[in-house]
Amino acid sequence: MKTFDYVIVGSGSAGSVLAARLSEDRATRVCLIEAGGPATGLAVKIPAAFPQLLKSERDWAFYSDPEPGMEGRRLYMPRAKMLGGCSSMNAMLYVRGNWVDYDGWVKHGAPGWSYADVLPYFRRSEDFERGEDTYHGAGGPLHVSDARSRNGLTETIVEAAQQSGLPFNLDYNGAQQEGVSYLQTTTHRGQRWSAVDAWLRPAQRRTNLTVLTHSHAQRIVVEGGRAVGVEIIRDGAREIITAEAEVILSAGAIGTPQLLMLSGIGDADHLRQHDIDVVVDNSNVGEHLQDHPFYLVNFETTAKGTLAEAEHPRQLLNFFTRGRGMLTSTIAEATAFLHSREGLPAPDLQLHMGPVYFHDHGFDTHDKPAYVVGVTLVAPESRGRVRLRSADPAASPSIVGNHLSEPADLEAMMVGVDKARQIAAQAPLAGLTTAELHPGRTLHGDALRRELRRDTELIYHPTSTARMGSADDSVVDPELRVHGVAGLRVVDASVFPSVTRGNTNAPTYMVAERAADLIRTAG
C-alpha cells in the first residue's frame, strides 16, 4: 500500500505524537516515514547512558559551519536517527518554557498559541507523577516523574543555590519559572519514556497506521501547487508514497528546512544555485535558527557517591532488579532559572546541575569526582540559518547559528558563570570543592569572554527554521500550513517563532498535540 490520507516525514517527538493521534480515527490511513530504525538497546532505556548514543550510528551528527562568534569553531549538533527521534536520545528533561514565550508567539503573528491556548495540550499529553492540578495533567500517555534515586550531592547543590540567593521552586512548570528546582523527567520506573513508549508503540497495533523505517525522504512531490506525496529511498529503491489529504513534515529544525529546499520551497536564488526548480520563492525557509548556548562549569569535589560510580556492578543490579540507583539519573538532576540583568520579562538563564564531571558532550573524562553547573542561555538574541550544501539529500546541510555574535548574549553567559561560582562558594559546597576545572578560578573579564567563545557548545535545542507567522516573514501560518503550497504542513520545533526558555522536548510534544486537533478540524 503506497497511498494514504496523511504521510508524515520523521518519527521524532512530533511525528510520533501526530501519527498516534491521527490514527485514532480508524478510517484514516496514516503513513509515518523514518530514516532510522527501531529505538532499542540499553543505551536508549538507561537514562544515565544517553551520552553513549551521541556520534553513534543512531545520530545524524551534524556539525555547523565555522561559527563567527565562537572563534570559527564547528559546533556539534546531534540529531537522533531512530524511532522517537531525539526523545529516544535526549536527557529526558521535561521543561515547558515560560508563559512569556507563548504570548510572544502571538505577538509575532501566531494567534491561537498563547500560554492560555497551549496549556490544555501540555496537560492532555501528561501523566504527572505528583498528580493533576491547574498546570499538570494525569492519565495522559507521557509519564513525567521526579528522580527515583536523587543523588545526595545534588541535594547539597540545591541547598547551596538557595544560599546564593535563588528561591526554591517546587514546580518550574507551574505558576512561575524562577528559582532552583529538582528536574522533572520523561522517565517511568527508572527508564526512559520516549515518544515511542508514550504514543507510537501503542498506536502501531492499529491496522490503519503504517510505519516505514530505514526510509530516507528525498523530496516532497508537488503537483499543481499541492503536495501529493513524498519520494523516498527504501531498500535501495526509489518510490513515491502518496498522500490524499496532507503531507506533514516532522523532520526537525535541521531536516525540515532541508527537505523543503530540496523540494523547491525556499529562497529562489539559493535554489537555483543548486539547480533546483523553484516551486515557492520564500527566503524565510531555513532562516531564524536559534539554539541554546551551553557552557559547563566543572568543579572537583571530595564528595562521595557521585555519578562517576554509576557503572559499578551494584548499580547495574539495582537498575535491573528495582529500577533504582545511579543509572536512573538523567545526569542533570537540578535546574535553576534566573535573570542576567534587570528589566527582562522572564529568565534568560537556565542552570543544569548534576553530581558528575561533564564536558565535551560527555566524551571528555576526569579522574577524580566532580560536579557540574551548566550555564545555558535560554533567550538568545543571536539567530542563524540552515542552507543546502548540495542538492543531494544525503549531504548534510550548511548550518550557521551565529551563537554569541550578539554582545548581550555573551554578557549574559558571563553572569551565568559568575552565578555558578557563587553557588560553589556557599558553605554546603565550599568545603567539598577542591578545584574549579572549567573555566578555572583565574579567568575573569576578557579572558573569560575568550574562554566562553572557545569552549561554549550547544545543548541540542534547534528551533525556528520554518517559523509561524505571516507570509512575509515566516514559513507556515498559525495552523502550520506552508505558505504557498496546499496540502503541506510542518509540525516540529522548526515552527517555533522563537526558542522557548528551557529544554524544547515538552514544547514539541505540545505543538504536535495541538496540530493533531488543527488537522482533524480541517479534515
Sign (positive or negative) of CA dihedral 154, 159, 164, 169: positive
Nearest to 298 by CA among 128, 176, 417, 398: 417
Grid coordinates given for 140: 495522559
Catalytic residue among 188, 292, 461, 483: 461
Q: How far, in Å, CA of 366 to CA of 370, rounded?
A: 8
Q: Are strands 226-234 and 237-249 parallel, antiparallel or unpaired?
A: antiparallel
Q: Could you tell me what percentage of the chain is helix, strand and coil, using 3-state DSSP and rounding each to the nearest 5?
A: 30, 25, 45
Q: Does residue 465 sit in helix, strand or coil? A: coil
Q: How far, in Å, CA of 87 to CA of 17, rounded?
A: 11
| Alpha carbon distances (Å) from 330 to 44, 182, 366, 459 | 12, 11, 19, 14
Nearest to 465 by CA among 427, 422, 498: 498
Grid coordinates given for 103: 504570548
Q: How far, in Å, CA of 389 to CA of 16, rounded?
A: 28
Check if the beta carbon of residue 34 is closer than 8 Å to that of residue 61.
no
Place of cell 554509576: 310
H or E stretch at 42:
helix 42-45
461 is catalytic: yes
Sign (positive or negative) of CA dihedral 420, 426, 428, 431: positive
Nearest to 16 by CA among 79, 88, 124: 88
Amino acid at 427: A
Q: Which residues are identified as catalytic?
A: 461
